[in-house]
Amino acid sequence: MGLHHHRKLKRNKTRARVAIIMILAGVLLIWAFISLLNNLRPIVRTMAESRALNIASNVISNAITEQLEQLDIRYDDLVTLERDANGHVVALKTNSTRINAVRAQLVQRILEKLDGLTVSKIAVPLGNVINGELFSGRGPKIVLNAIPVGWASAEYENVFSSAGINQTRHQIVVKAEIRLTMLLSANSSVTVTAKGEVTIAETVIVGIVPGVYGQLTIDN
């Protein structure tokens, strides 16, 4: 009876030790998992931000390039120069309807490209998640999906600059902006902004242009 009781106590102690070891191992695994997640999040956000900026920059650059190739607009189509009896320019009148049409076309092209974006995969080497330069770039990759969602806008601006003695350059510039968000999870995302511009018309006005800045009018 005593021997049986002794063996039973021994088995219970062994089971207790195994249970304790399993609990400790479980706690250690949970701690390691949480630690990896904490290290992974900033890396993923940094990579997602860089990826988003590249995507947004490429979208806006390609859209502007394509739009510029299609433009067949002369300066006279957008601006009327009003002169006095001596032929001096005294005012400029812009065709805002035509300019806004160009602006809207550029925004539409950008939005079409944004709509065509697919899920972006972000691959993080496991070694980067583990602290230490020794493991950087090594090990299997953790692949995460990032869903791009974008918004675009554009405005136009009249730009005046000196082109020499008694010469003024007038440019009509359309400036576009993209805000691109990479959705990483239900409660995590990164957002970047990319900007670009295109000159849709320009000319150099020869002669003194008194008051041209204050006498720019818009034809609605």
Domain that includes residue 214, residue range: 2-219
Dump pLDDT digits (tens) for 35-48.
666 677 888 888 88
| Residue 131 to residue 180: CA distance in whole angstroms | 30
Burial of 211 (0-12, 13-18, 19+ CB in 10 A): exposed
Q: What is the pLDDT of residue 131?
A: 64
Phi, psi at residue 50, to the nearest 5°?
-65, -45
Dump pLDDT digits (tens) for 57-73.
999 999 988 888 887 78
Residue 156: count other Cβ atoms within 10 Å of its Cβ. Answer: 20
Phi, psi at residue 212, to the nearest 5°?
-65, -35
Confidence of residue 181 (pLDDT cuts 50, 70, 90): very high
Reported pTM: 0.72
Q: Which residue has the higher pLDDT, 38 or 133?
A: 38
Structurally, the chain folds into a number of domains equal to 1
Can you list the alpha helix ranges (DSSP code H) found in the chain? Answer: 2-70, 75-78, 96-115, 126-129
